[in-house]
Every structure is written in C-alpha cells, then in structure tokens.
Structure 1
Amino acid sequence: MKFLFDLGGVFFDWDPKHFFKNIFSSLDELDYFLTNVCNDEWNVQQDAGRTIKEAEEEI
C-alpha cells in the first residue's frame, strides 16, 4: 500500500465548495454554511476527536 501526502495541494484541489455545491440552492447559503457552521474552527475540533454527534448538537 502506498500513501501520497499532498500538503501543498499539487495533486488534489480540496475546496469544500466543490463537495457542498449540490446541497445548497444558492451560493449565498453555501458561503454562510462554510463561514458560520463548517468553518476552520469546526474542522480543528473534529480533527481533535470531537464526535459528529457532539458537533451536530452544537448546531
């Protein structure tokens, strides 16, 4: 098994807008979600071990 670490974003373009764009009916809703709900602080807490259930309870 081989692993590829793409820390500089050379091989993979990770933009959450690509993932969530089909869920929201407008770009304004998507921008609000990424700014106020699923933002960097939220992701850091998830990476630190917070469960999805705990995160959902905060919303």
Structure 2
Amino acid sequence: MNMKLIYKKNLMVDLVKLGNDLEYSSRNRKNSKYQVFFFPHTKKLDMDIAFLTGKEYVPDERAVE
C-alpha cells in the first residue's frame, strides 16, 4: 500500500482525531529534530486533508478506497 507522508504535527493530530490510521513515524532526514508521519494513502485521508487545509478535494488515482 502506498504511504502518504505528513510533515506537520498539528495536521497529523487532526487526521488521527478524524479516524485516519497513523502507521508509524520517523525522523526527518533533512532535519533530525523533526518527525515525519506515515499514513496509508486512502481517499478518506485525501478528503480529510482537503477539509482541514481548506482546499478543494481532487481525486487521486493512487489512493486506495
């Protein structure tokens, strides 16, 4: 399954609150004081990101139902 990387902690927290599954996190390669959060790339995740950021949802063929 494809993973979607999230770099903002606040966005990660909101996505988890909306019921999205956080798979794991790891250190950012460029700046080790930051974390990167990995989510399964689903249509629900894309729709929730659009909702939280105030953007329009654009379907992505790489996302899984």
TM-score, normalization by structure 2: 0.22
Q: Bigger relative contact order, structure 1 or 2, given CA contacts below 8 A and separation 6+?
A: 2
Looking at secondary structure, tell me which structure has more helix per residue.
1
Looking at secondary structure, tell me which structure has more strand per residue.
2
